[in-house]
Structure 1
Amino acid sequence: MTRYVSSCFITLVVLFLWRVEDIADACRCLPQHPQQAFCNAEIVIRAKVVGKKAVSNAIKYDIEQIKMFKGCDQVIHAIFTYTTSCSVTLEINKEYLFTGKLKTGRMSITLCGYNPPWEDLSAAQKNSLTHRYQSGCDCKIIHCTSLPCPISTSDTCLWTYLGTDNGQNLACIKRQDGSCAWYKGIGLPKK
C-alpha cells in the first residue's frame, strides 16, 4: 500500500511541476484607470482593425488610424501583440482605443493595456481623451479595494469601485494650487 501511495504522490508532484510553467506564464495585470493607461502609454490612438496576420512570434493587426490622442507624428498602420498569455485578440472591422508602446517603429499592445472597443467608451471618457487625461498625468491615481485608504500626498486621487461607473468617467486633474482632484466634467474641481 505504501508503494501505491508513494507512486501517486510522485505522479502528483510531476503533474504539478509540469503545470507550474503554464501558471508562471499567466498574464497578471493590475486594474488601471483609463487615465493611468493614457498617461503610461507612449501612443494612444483610435483605429479600425482591417486585417490580421501571424508574423514570427506576434500577431500583426493592420489598422486604419482615425485619431492620434497621444504619441508621435507618424501615422500607425499596424499594431503588434506578441504571442504570449498577454496577447490581445481583436475583431476585424471594429474600432478600438489603443494604448501602447512604440518599439523600433512598431506599436505593440498587451492584455494589460487599455484597449476597449470604441463603442464601449462613455461620452465622458471620449471627452477626457482630448481634454482631461493629459492635464492629469502629473497626478497619481491610487487604486483602493477596501476602505479606509489614506491618501498620503495632495497630488493623489483615490480610485475606488464605489459608485455605478467605478470612477471610469472621472478624470484626476491638477488644480491651480498643485493638488489633484477628481473631475466630473462640470466646472473646475473644488478643494
Structure 2
Amino acid sequence: MTRYVSSCFFTLFVLFLWRVEDIAEACRCLPQHPQQAFCDAEIVIRAKVVGKKAVSNNIKYDIQQIKMFKGCDQVIHAIFTDTTSCGVTLEINKEYLFTGKLETGRMYVTMCGYNPSWENLSAAQKNSLTRLYKSGCDCKIIRCTSLPCPISTSAACLWTDLGTDNGQNLACIKREDGSCAWYTGMAQPKK
C-alpha cells in the first residue's frame, strides 16, 4: 500500500510541475461592473476594428475611433493587447467598447478590462456611457457573491446579481446626501 501511495504522490507531483507554467500564465480577473470598468479606465472609446498585426509581444489592432467617452484629446488609431492569456481576441470589421490604459502613447486592453462588442451593450448601458457612469465614479461598486455582504461606507452600491445582466443595466450614482444608490434611469435615487 505504501508503494502505491508513493507512486500516486510522485505522479501528482509530476503533473503539478507540468502545469505550473500554464497556471502561472493564467489570467485571473473577477467580473467587473461596466461602471467600475469605466471609472477605473484611463480611456474609454467606441471603435471599429479594421486590421490586425503582430508587433513584438503584442497584437496591434488598427481601429477607426467612433467616439471618445473618457480619456485624452487625441484620436486613437490602434489598440494593443498582450499575446499571452490576458490578451483579447477581436474580430475585424466589428465595433467594440474599449476600456483601457494609456502607456507610452499607446492604448492597451486586456481580458480583465471591459471590452464587449457594441451590439451586445444594452440601451441603458449605452446611455450610461455618455452621462451616468462618469457622475458615479466617486461611488464604489462592491461585488457580493453570497449574502450577507457588509458595506462599511454609504458611498458604495452592492452588486449582488453577478450572474445576470440586470445589475449591468444600472448605474451607481452619488445622491445629494453623499451616499450612493443604484439608478435605473427612471428617477434620481432617493435619500
Q: Which amino acid aligns with 1:50?
A: V
Give aligned-pair identity as a percent.
Answer: 86
Q: Which runs of 5+ in 2 are unaligned?
A: none
Specify the alignment match of 2:105 in structure 1. 105
Task: Please give the TM-score of this superposition, normalised by the length of structure 1.
Answer: 0.93
> Aligned with 1:181: secondary structure?
strand
Q: What is the CA–CA distance in structure 2 between the aligned matches of 1:12 and 1:151, rounded to whole Å? A: 42
Task: Please give the TM-score of this superposition, normalised by the length of structure 2.
Answer: 0.93
**Shift in Å at residue 83 of structure 1?**
1.1
> Aligned with 1:15: secondary structure?
helix
Deviates more, 1:115-124 or 1:143-152: 143-152
Specify the alignment match of 2:62 in structure 1. 62
Q: Which amino acid aligns with 1:110?
A: T
Checking the alignment, whether the CA contact within 8 Å between 1:43 and 1:70 is kept in structure 2 is yes
Deviates more, 1:90-99 or 1:10-19: 10-19
Q: Which amino acid aligns with 1:116?
A: P
> Aligned with 2:181: secondary structure?
strand
Specify the alignment match of 2:115 in structure 1. 115
Cα deviation, 1:69-122, whole Å, max 9, x if unaligned, reads 000000000000011111100000000000000000000000000000000000
Q: What is the CA–CA distance in structure 1 between the aligned matches of 2:14 and 2:164, rounded to whole Å? A: 46
**Shift in Å at residue 149 of structure 1?**
1.4
Q: Is the aligned partner of 1:146 residue 2:146?
A: yes
Cα deviation, 1:27-56, whole Å, max 9, x if unaligned, reads 111111000000000000000000000110
Q: Which amino acid aligns with 1:101?
A: K
> Aligned with 1:110: secondary structure?
coil
Cα deviation, 1:114-162, whole Å, max 9, x if unaligned, reads 0000000000000000010000000010000111112221101011117
Q: Which amino acid aligns with 1:112?
A: C
Specify the alignment match of 2:38 in structure 1. 38
Checking the alignment, whether the CA contact within 8 Å between 1:62 and 1:78 is kept in structure 2 is yes
RMSD: 1.9
Specify the alignment match of 2:91 in structure 1. 91
CA gap of 1:18–1:178, structure 2 versus 1, over 3 A, is same
**Shift in Å at residue 5 of structure 1?**
7.1
Q: What is the CA–CA distance in structure 1 between the aligned matches of 2:68 and 2:158, rounded to whole Å? A: 28
Checking the alignment, whether the CA contact within 8 Å between 2:157 and 2:181 is kept in structure 1 is yes
Q: Which amino acid aligns with 1:114?
A: Y
**Shift in Å at residue 166 of structure 1?**
3.4
Q: Is the aligned partner of 1:137 residue 2:137?
A: yes
